[in-house]
Amino acid sequence: MRSWKVVLILLALAAVSVVFLSGIIGKPFEPAQPIAFDHWQHTSKQGEDTPKLECTDCHENADKSRFATIPNVSKCMICHETMKTESPEIQKLAAYSSRSEQPPWKRVYWIEKEADVFFTHKPHIRAGVDCTTCHGQVNQMHRVKRDVDHSMGWCIQCHRENRVSVDCSICHR
Amino acid sequence: MEEKVESKKPQWAMVIDLDRCTGCEACVVACHAENNIRIAGEGPAAGGRSVNWIRVERYYEGEYPDIRVKFMPVMCQHCEEAPCEPVCPVYATYHTDEGLNGQVYNRCVGTRYCANNCPYTVRFFNFLDPVWPEPLSKSLNPEVSVRYRGVMEKCTFCIQRIRKGEDKAKDEGREIRDGDVNPACVQSCTARAMTFGNIADPTSEVARLSKSGRASRLMEELGTKPRVTYLSRGD
């Protein structure tokens, strides 16, 4: 009688963990951000007074440097000083701005330090690589998720297809 | 084998004029600062575990007081027939299509065969994890990886500066030319004894100097075809 109970409990635990794990595995990394910034709304939303921004309008260093960079809050406030000030998310933004602080944005894509990879945005933009090639359809996302797996094989494949150098020292140094 | 992606790649080479070298070791200091070379400390250095991608060899001639000291900076010679390359079991050291002797730290498993096979003794093994005393850890160059325990390292001809120079040339839509790329040692040489550039370009300074009558290469008789040319002293 007792052993039956143990078996039942174990089975129940296994079932719960399978359900739980299947929810995590295979789901892209999608961290909650300090402010619910919506990329779709800023780039793709159809309507009369929607901004329809380009990626480099805000990530303005992508074509100039190693990093695309997240814009300073002051950049957001150029428009949001007057626009949609009634929204609670914009009020959060304004609060950061008034304290001259930056929201602690969560990184979605990064390269592990151990990889010794020196990726640079600039030459990729110069070569005309679309942002969505590496970052997925961010312009359709409400909350950014990691849609593309940045493994070395994936980098090499694109370099080969486009007849770019695959010399190790292009990235590793 | 990979097919060559671009036909005209620059071929990097260096010329060192020994008549100009004063042995000041500014190149050594500059190299340490540029390439995140760890500080071994007194004990390990005495045990032969210091790391110097470039060193200045001293040769004494004559007896005191009629003594002459000759200096010779020695770094990785980036041999075209590099003895270190075929002995690496994991292709961690390989030849790039720009004539550089590359070292991939991620691939290195630390067999140290390459250092054994190098006649110039310019390869250094990391026996320990590097430690920098504060505040030196804040002065690390972000363009260069920090090597960890168990990997081999050596002079890269400042690959990060080469990439930067190539990037600049591409921005301006032109071929690479003299002055685009200068490794830290060349930049810091007060006597301008060192010259760096593209030897495949016949108009470059290195191509001109390497054809000089004073030109010779270190241990040329081994057939390593070094990319570093020394101009002998004119005495």
| B176 Cα to chain A: minimum distance (Å) | 16
Q: What is the pLDDT of residue A23?
A: 60
Distance separating alpha carbons of residues B90 and B102, to the nearest angstrom: 13
Report the range of poorest mean pLDDT among A131-145, A146-160, B90-104, B125-139.
Answer: B125-139
Range of the domain at B214: 12-231
Give the residue-averaged pLDDT of B3-15: 75
Pick B102's closest partner by Cβ from A116, A118, A168: A168
Residue A111 near residue A120, CB atoms below 8 Å: no
Which among B11, B23, B15, B10 is positioned nearest to B186, based on CA atoms?
B15
Give CA B97 to chain center in angstroms.
17
Kindly report, residue by residue over B168-213, the tens digit of the pLDDT. Answer: 999 999 999 999 999 999 999 999 999 999 999 999 999 999 999 9
Peptide bond into B142 cis (omega under 30): no
Task: Categorize the per-residue pLDDT at B1 as very low, low, confident or very high, splitting at 50, 70 and 90.
Answer: very low
Chain B residue nearest residue A172, CA to CA: B104
Distance separating alpha carbons of residues B196 and B157, to the nearest angstrom: 9
* Parallel, antiparallel or unpaired: strands B12-17 and B228-231: parallel
Task: Categorize the per-residue pLDDT at A130 as very low, low, confident or very high, splitting at 50, 70 and 90.
Answer: very high
Average of per-residue pLDDT values in chain A: 89
Kindly report, residue by residue over A74-101, the tens digit of the pLDDT. Answer: 999 999 999 899 999 999 999 999 999 9
Residue B68 near residue B62, CB atoms below 8 Å: yes
DSSP state of B173: T
Residue B5 counted as domain residue: no
What CATH code is carried by the domain that includes residue B63? 3.30.70.20
Residue B88 counted as domain residue: yes
Kindly report, residue by residue over B100-133, the tens digit of the pLDDT. Answer: 999 999 999 999 999 999 999 999 999 988 888 8
- Percent of all residues in chain B with a pLDDT value above 70, rounded to a whole number: 97
Greatest mean pLDDT among A41-50, B35-44, B110-119 lies in B110-119
Give the residue-averaged pLDDT of B11-26: 95
Chain B residue nearest residue A162, CA to CA: B5
Give the residue-averaged pLDDT of B54-65: 93
Cβ-defined contact of A167 to B97 (cutoff 8 Å): yes
Give the residue-averaged pLDDT of B4-18: 81
Residue B121 near residue B140, CB atoms below 8 Å: no
| B170 Cα to chain A: minimum distance (Å) | 9
Cβ-defined contact of A170 to B163 (cutoff 8 Å): yes
What DSSP line would sit under B119-132, residue for residue? Answer: TT---EE--S----
Chain A residue nearest residue B168, CA to CA: A123
Chain B residue nearest residue A119, CA to CA: B143
Q: What is the pLDDT of residue B133?
A: 86
Cβ-defined contact of B170 to A126 (cutoff 8 Å): yes
Residue B3 counted as domain residue: no
Task: Categorize the per-residue pLDDT at A25 as very low, low, confident or very high, splitting at 50, 70 and 90.
Answer: low
B1, B159, B164, B181: best to mutate for the A interface, most A CBs within 10 A? B159
Chain B residues inside the 8 Å CB shell of A157: none
Cβ-defined contact of B145 to A169 (cutoff 8 Å): no
E strand or H helix that includes residue B16: strand B12-17
Average of per-residue pLDDT values in chain B: 92
How crowded is residue A67: how many other Cβ atoms within 10 Å of its Cβ? 13
Cβ-defined contact of B145 to A167 (cutoff 8 Å): no
Would you call A158 an interface residue with chain B, using a CB distance cutoff of 8 Å? no
Q: Is B42 left (phi over 0), alpha (psi -120 to 50) or beta?
A: alpha
Give the residue-averaged pLDDT of A166-171: 93
Residue B154 counted as domain residue: yes
A64, A120, A168, A170: best to mutate for the B interface, most B CBs within 10 A? A168
Q: What is the pLDDT of residue B2?
A: 45
Residue B217 counted as domain residue: yes
Percent helix, strand, coil in chain B, to 5, is 20, 15, 60
Q: What is the pLDDT of residue B174?
A: 92
Distance separating alpha carbons of residues B29 and B52, to the nearest angstrom: 9
Distance separating alpha carbons of residues B114 and B121, to the nearest angstrom: 10
Residue B1 counted as domain residue: no
Residue B2 counted as domain residue: no
Would you call A67 an interface residue with chain B, using a CB distance cutoff of 8 Å? no
Distance separating alpha carbons of residues A36 and A7, to the nearest angstrom: 45
Spell out the residues 6+ positions from residue B162 whose beta carbon is closer than 8 angstroms to its own. B12, B98, B100, B181
Whether the predicted pLDDT of B230 surpasses 70 = yes
Residue B79 near residue B227, CB atoms below 8 Å: yes
- Overall domain count for chain B: 1
Q: What is the pLDDT of residue B211?
A: 94
Cβ-defined contact of A167 to B143 (cutoff 8 Å): no
Distance separating alpha carbons of residues B188 and B31, to the nearest angstrom: 9
Residue A33 near residue A108, CB atoms below 8 Å: no
What DSSP line would sit under B43-99, residue for residue? Answer: HHHHTT----SSEEEEEEES-TTS-EEEEEEE-----TT-TTSTT-TT--EEE-TTS
Q: What is the pLDDT of residue B5?
A: 45
Chain B residues inside the 8 Å CB shell of A114: 106
B96, B140, B148, B152: best to mutate for the A interface, most A CBs within 10 A? B96
Residue B174 counted as domain residue: yes
Residue type, A29: F
Residue B178 near residue B136, CB atoms below 8 Å: no
Task: Categorize the per-residue pLDDT at A22 as very low, low, confident or very high, splitting at 50, 70 and 90.
Answer: low
Q: What is the largest CA-CA distance in chain B?
A: 60
Residue B13 near residue B200, CB atoms below 8 Å: no
